[in-house]
Amino acid sequence: MLASHLVAPGKIELIEVPEPELSPVSSLKSGQGEIIFQPETTCLCGSDLPYFNGSDEWEIEIGHSLHEMIGTVTETNGQRWKAGDRVLAVPVMQQGLCERFVLDESRTIPIATNIPEEHALMAQPLGTALFALKKLPNLLDKTVAVVGQGPMGQLMNAALSNMGARQIIGIDLLESRLQVSPRMGATATICNRNTDPVEALREILNGDLPDIVIEAVGHADQQLNLCIDLCRAEGKILVFGVPPETIDQVRWRDLLFKNITVHTSINPDFNRDFPLAMQWLSEGRIDVTPIITHRFPLSEIQQAFELFRDRREGVIKVIVEFPSLHR
């Protein structure tokens, strides 16, 4: 079967690897089970790019990097699923760029059947957004700025709109992304490439700054200092984008003197957050159609990653289809 091998920064190849095998039942704890999972539809995430780009954030291994996927259980030694069941799965450490792999059955949830599967696929990223937003107090009537209008920023817009935020201001350097933001719940947008975002926010909010600022960029491009500038005194910052291991020149004193509260978020709950996101999508609370912009077959994974990395052609969410989808 095929799996990914990152042979150099920005260069991915598909290589032949052995088929996965389940662990002997005797080696499993009571109530624990595994599946062999066969991906069919997946999508790229900003957290896949550090692997593709060859940064030193994490060790790069065979199978990097995909982690949002829907597919089929082909074999199991557990009780939760049977062969042929179709599920949403999240591989460990994002090692999902394989035609099949072993996965603990607890890292899977059922998929909604009343919506397109590529919409159900968005329950994984949406679930991470909902988990993060639960860290904040009541969002009803709050003003919120979302820094970064990539896939996660757009899902944040939609979730905030559902949770009753009064105003949601999307901020990004790319006009192409900001054109999508109102369709995903933003009430206003700011392109901070050539505009002072603090002045623009004050104009939108009648002289005030927002109650809450969400950092949805992360990694090497993280915008924590900008979030400090944008947040009102005694406001809150939600650091959602995964930051580098260390961040130099963060203006911590400015944050301190504004009495800003910082919230962080990682690792949603498989029993609550992903199922809740799937429920929202099934109920039609969020239409993710505007953010699904491109599709590629697995054979063109290199082109898919390059487009996503370079943010060309208005790209937001890139779907990748495995050969098993068409069998």
Q: Return mean pLDDT, the chain.
A: 96
Q: What is the dihedral sign for C-alpha 56, 57, 61, 64?
A: negative
pLDDT at 25: 83
Q: Across the chain, which distance is largest between two alpha carbons, in Å?
A: 66
pLDDT at 211: 98
pLDDT at 90: 97
User: Has this prediction a pTM greater than 0.85?
Assistant: yes
pLDDT at 325: 84
Q: For residue 165, what are the contacts with CB-CB under 8 A and spacing of at least 6?
A: 139, 140, 141, 142, 143, 144
CA distance 1 to 23: 19
CA distance 158 to 181: 9
Residue 47 pLDDT greater than 90, yes or no: yes
Secondary structure (H, E, C), 106-144: HHEEECCCCCCHHHHCCHHHHHHHHHHHCCCCCCCCCEE
pLDDT at 158: 98
CA distance 308 to 43: 10
**Exposed, middle or buried by CB within 10 Å (0-12, 13-18, 19+), for 32?**
middle
222-271 confidence digits (pLDDT tens): 999 999 999 999 999 999 999 888 888 999 999 999 999 999 999 999 99
For residue 322, name the pLDDT band (cuts at 50, 70, 90).
very high
271-290 confidence digits (pLDDT tens): 999 999 999 999 999 999 99
pLDDT at 29: 79
Residues 57-76: what's their mean pLDDT? 94
No. of helices (H) and no. of strands (E), the chain: 10, 15
For residue 57, name the pLDDT band (cuts at 50, 70, 90).
confident
**What is the separation of C-alpha 85 from the centre of its chain, rounded to a whole number of angstroms?**
24
For residue 30, name the pLDDT band (cuts at 50, 70, 90).
confident
CA distance 263 to 237: 6
pLDDT at 59: 86
pLDDT at 246: 86
99-110 confidence digits (pLDDT tens): 999 999 999 999
Look-up: residue for tokens 């609370």? 285
pLDDT at 28: 80
Better-predicted residue by pLDDT, 55 or 197: 197
Q: How far is CA 200 from CA 29, 167, 203, 210, 235, in A?
A: 56, 14, 5, 12, 18
Residue 3 pLDDT greater than 80, yes or no: yes
SS3 286: coil
Give the percent of the chain with pLDDT over 90: 91
156-186 confidence digits (pLDDT tens): 999 999 999 999 999 999 999 999 999 999 9
110-168 confidence digits (pLDDT tens): 999 999 999 999 999 999 999 999 999 899 999 999 999 999 999 999 999 999 999 99
